[in-house]
Structure 1
């Protein structure tokens, strides 16, 4: 039980640290967007690398921030029935949702994305624009990192929910 609690603690700390770090990309996105707009409309200058960097920052922000958003319970949830349930039943819903929905979907994304990302790495894929960024394969790697982070967060939740249900069942006996 102590090992599980330790896993939950370190996993939550890791996701929180990563989430707070990735949040700074929001500032980078705003500043880069402002620079792109200023250059385009103020100086009639446009650069493919600058435009593509917006896509890279945006994708990185969202793909690396998804697990943190999930951890903070800020994800989209349909609370029509959930909000009326007791805390114990909410824990069961969370546990079953994690096992039956989140893990299979993230597993599928890993499985489906593996060859896609691998092919991109094999050719060191670059931008289609000759003056664009040369790291498309790194951007596509986020397709595998994102589900890995969400799976790690989900395993932390599964452990947390299981401990909560075990503690609750001990109290009711």
Structure 2
């Protein structure tokens, strides 16, 4: 089990790095969107390529960021219900959810996404819009994103099982987000406003 826990930590580290890196794609999408809107309204001109690159960047953020979100336990859940149970019961619920919902769904999408992307790569598919971009990089994001999500799902499953065996502390899979009070305090500290 210790070997699996080390694999889990490697997956976590990989997805953390990708999550941080892909967050810059959101900034790029916002800047491109802003620039495109300004050019469209000031000069009355635009390009479909600029619109499509925004979609590609947003797709990258969404598809490559899901594993990071799962890693940080920030995915959508029904905390109102699960919060009433003991930590062990919550872990069993997570194991059930990962085993019977997340991993089969991600595996099924991955199964269909690989040939979908491969056909696009082989045909060097281009956008049907005038001035559009090549399409295969965006389609390639689908299997990559769901492969990362599947790996993170396996990592989360390993951590939950490790917790039940007393080998992993719950802090390794609990939410990492700060409370609003903690965020305000961090801002005050950073700005020396105490």
**1:92 aligned partner:** 92
CA-to-partner distance for each residue in 1:62-104, whole Å, 9 max, x for gaps? 1110110111111111223201010011111111110110010
| Shift of residue 130, structure 1, vs aligned partner | 3.7
* CA–CA distance in structure 1, aligned partners of residues 76 and 5 of structure 2: 27
**1:68 aligned partner:** 68
For residue 46 of structure 1, give the secondary structure of its aligned residue in structure 2. coil
**1:51 aligned partner:** 51
- 1:121 equivalent to 2:125? Answer no
For residue 10 of structure 1, give the secondary structure of its aligned residue in structure 2. helix
Please tell me the root mean square deviation across aligned C-alpha atoms, in Å: 1.3
Paired residues for 1:1-173 under 5 Å:
1-134=1-134, 136-167=135-166
Unaligned runs of 5+ in 1: 169-173
* CA–CA distance in structure 2, aligned partners of residues 138 and 33 of structure 1: 20
* CA–CA distance in structure 1, aligned partners of residues 12 and 39 of structure 2: 41
* CA–CA distance in structure 2, aligned partners of residues 118 and 25 of structure 1: 24
Higher helix share: 1
For residue 84 of structure 1, give the secondary structure of its aligned residue in structure 2. coil
* CA–CA distance in structure 2, aligned partners of residues 78 and 88 of structure 1: 16
* CA–CA distance in structure 2, aligned partners of residues 165 and 2 of structure 1: 13
Scaled by the length of structure 2, what TM-score is found?
Answer: 0.82
| Shift of residue 122, structure 1, vs aligned partner | 2.0
For residue 76 of structure 2, give the secondary structure of its aligned residue in structure 1. coil
| Shift of residue 115, structure 1, vs aligned partner | 2.5
* CA–CA distance in structure 2, aligned partners of residues 115 and 148 of structure 1: 14
For residue 131 of structure 1, give the secondary structure of its aligned residue in structure 2. coil
| Shift of residue 116, structure 1, vs aligned partner | 1.8
| Shift of residue 48, structure 1, vs aligned partner | 1.5
* CA–CA distance in structure 1, aligned partners of residues 107 and 122 of structure 2: 22
